[in-house]
Structure 1
Amino acid sequence: MAGNSQRRGAIRKGGTKKGAQVGSGGQARRALKGKGPTPPAEDRKGHAKARAAKRAEVANKQGTGRSAGAAPRTRTTGAPVGQARGGRHADLPETVVGRNPVVEALRAGVPATALYVATGLASDERIAEAITAAAERGIAQLDVARTELDRLTGGAVHQGVALSVPPYQYAHPNDLLSRAADSGRAPLIVAVDGVTDPRNLGAIVRSAAAFGAHGVVVPERRSAGMTASAWRTSAGTAARIRVARCPNLVRVLKDYAEAGLMIAGLDADGTVDTDTFELATSPLVVVVGSEGRGLSRLTRTVCDVTVSIPMVRNVESLNASVATGVVLAEVARRRRAEAVGG
């Protein structure tokens, strides 16, 4: 009833009076005491970097603890620490993303360090083939959350799967001359002048391997490198032919010329065409220009000859990699004919 101070909850219990209390037992003083410097993020339990370091440790143990041909029995959650690559995603590894590209890369024998599969991903024939191929080659298979896979691939459309590819180990330009000398055949080298599309570079490497070239030279700047995309487009032939990298392509071409090689640049308005390309059987460097502007001015000055491909008039030009394949095929044909005739 109203005013009944004996009803339940109406009496304030002792020690619950609102307001300041007498004494704190030292609690406030201890609360203000410093706890020392903040430990590194990798040492703080529960921190994202600490979890990443733990996953990297697991991945490293899995990658180094097996023999090269042994297949992993289980897939371990984790992701290795990426290599510095510059730009916005400096800590990300080089990856092939997407179900079809990953399967194609594994079929082509592209070297890989890890296969990432999103946790809870619904498997299909491509995923099953990728997992089987990775297991047969001893590639670590890692289950990761989709958010982590998004981070590893820089936000690319990965379809729940990605393949980590190690950096390509480039040769020195002089190594290509040594390989030519060891082969007993006339040197044949392909030089790439400013091709910026890695798929074009991969296709050029594939043609060079198919038609008996001793190697490919690419400049360090303003040119595509042997990325995961180039590896995949080369269909694994990059493992069978050496790609060299140089800081100055013109200087390398001059060195090749001093070594006795003829320099032939591909050009739509060439001084000769493939039908009259008599230098094809000589020690040769075939130089292919960029997709848009072709050969650079300085590169053109060191060419002994420029070569064009006869085409019908209603076609302007060929893709850089296609043109390279056509010319290399003609070089190989002429060399076979000379070998038979000799």
Structure 2
Amino acid sequence: MARSDKKKTGAHGKNRRDAHGVYRRRAERGKAAFRSYDGKAGDEFRGDSSSCSSRAKRSDGNANSYGSSQRGGNMSSYDSSQRSRNSSSRLRDTYRNISNVNEWESRGDSFAEEQRAPAANLIAGRNPVMEAIKSGREIERIYMAAGAEGSVVKIRAMAKDAGIVVDTVPRIVLDRMAHGEKHQGVAAEISAYSYSTVEKILKRADESEEPPFILVLDEISDPHNLGAIIRTAECADAHGVIIPKRNACGLTSTVAKTSAGALERMSVARVTNIGRTIEELQRQGVWVAAVDMNGKAYYETEGVMKGAIALVIGNEGKGISRLVREKCDLSISIPMKGSINSLNASNAAAIIMYAVRRSRDC
């Protein structure tokens, strides 16, 4: 009988050793993940690293409890094993959050910007966001927590129909943006700045006694690109920037920050239809040039640049849409001499804007 008990105890001892090994390996993987992640977000998660380790240690303790309770025939073994499973589940959730943050970082968005969408310009919660879309309120962008379900799916469909850009972000990002406000996995950023009109931009050009010099942005979606373009446009003394209402970034707080104050001095008009706006500019005597890889080299079109001109810059990924390109008077390009055949949208815009400025000043 004693030998039988000893064998049983030995088996449970093996189970405990296996459990120790499993949770020790999980804790080590967690530490490695935290060490590999850099940046401010990583600092936050590194703060949770010890928590993960302690969870693993608690799980070790639970495993010990499990073994001892089995030897004693105690019903507490079920509770201990449940706590152990819950701990490993929380650990997996933490890894999943790290993966989400890494994905968010890789897109080029600034996770570290705590004021990316100030609470004053943020509508948080499912019903408020849904009603804002229904009422036709100007919404710059909608943020949804990764994994959010239920009515969030309906909100995503409504946003798509309204042409509003939707970003899926880790829940921790949404928590920080909402500044403690309950968001239920969704928030909408409303415009922080008032827009000008195409008529006011043309009037500004007339008052400057210089041919109109305008930027038309076809679905630029990155707020950093938009802010950089507005900054360069102000430095190059352009008269205004035109952006579409649908499927494009609006004047958010990130745009304002990236523009380094230029947004306060630059006229930005938001229009319903870029194609019709191009037709209106053409009726006013403005030449519309698409900045495209297949156009003439920009230095071969200096004669056009000296006159009234509107430069069309396309989306970061797909470029200028076919319908918009067909309405343009000509296409101009920036010759590529290296192995890479394209430039960032804001860089391309900067080169062409200063080509226009040079042709006018010389």
Unaligned regions of 5+ residues in structure 1, if any?
A: 1-78, 95-145, 157-163, 338-342
Equivalent residue for 1:218, pick from 235, 243, 253: 243
Structure with the higher helix share, 1 or 2: 2
> C-alpha distance in 2, partners of 1:310/1:196?
25
- The answer (yes or no) to whether the contact 1:199–1:233 under 8 Å persists in 2 is yes
2:290 counterpart letter in structure 1: G
Does the aligned pair in 1 maintain the 2:314–2:320 contact within 8 Å?
yes
**Cα deviation 1:284-329 (Å, max 9, x = unaligned):** 0000000011110110111111110012140120001110000001
Aligned-pair CA distance for 1:274: 1.6
* Aligned partners of 1:198 and 1:227 also within 8 Å: yes
> Matched residues in 1 for 2:127 and 2:347: separation?
33
* Unpaired segments ≥5 residues, structure 2: 1-117, 133-138, 141-175
Match of 2:301 in 1: 277
1:149 matches 2:179 = yes
Moved over 3 A (4+): 79-94, 152-156
CA–CA separation in structure 1 for the residues paired with 2:353 and 2:178: 44
For residues 208 and 234 of structure 2, the distance between their equivalents in structure 1, rounded to whole angstroms, comes to 14
* Residue 330 of structure 2 is aligned to residue 305 of structure 1: yes
- The residue that corresponds to 1:291 in the other structure is 316
In 1: Cα distance, 2:230 partner to 2:352 partner: 14
Give 1 or 2 for the bigger CA radius of gyration.
1
Tell me, yes or no, if the aligned pair for 1:89 and 1:154 is still in contact at 8 Å: no
Q: What TM-score does the superposition give when structure 1 sets the normalisation length?
A: 0.53
Partner Cα separation in structure 2 for residue 173 and residue 201 of structure 1: 18
Distance change in 2, residues 1:86/1:336 (3 Å): farther
Partner Cα distance (1:310, 1:282) in 2: 22
Indicate if the aligned counterparts of 1:265 and 1:288 stay in contact, CA closer than 8 A.
yes
Q: Distance in 1 between matches of 2:308 and 2:180?
A: 48
Q: CA RMSD in A?
A: 3.3
Structure 1 151/262 Cα, relative in aligned 2: closer, same or farther at 3 Å? Answer: same
Q: Could you report, residue by residue, the CA deviation over 1:202-241 in whole angstroms, capped at 9, with x for unpaired residues? A: 1111111111100000000011101011111111100001
Aligned with 1:315: secondary structure? coil
Which of 241, 259, 262 does residue 266 from structure 2 map onto? 241
Amino acid at match of 2:298: T
Alpha-carbon distance in 2 for matches of 1:276, 1:328? 15
Identify if the C-alpha distance between structure 1 residues 82 and 231 changes in structure 2 by more than 3 Å, giving closer, same or farther.
Answer: closer
SS of 1:282's equivalent in the other structure is: coil
Equivalent residue letter for 2:300: T
Describe the superposition over 1:37-70 as per-residue Cα deviations: whole angstroms up to 9, x where unpaired.
xxxxxxxxxxxxxxxxxxxxxxxxxxxxxxxxxx
Aligned residues: 202
Q: Does the CA-based 8 Å contact 2:195-2:267 persist in structure 1?
A: yes
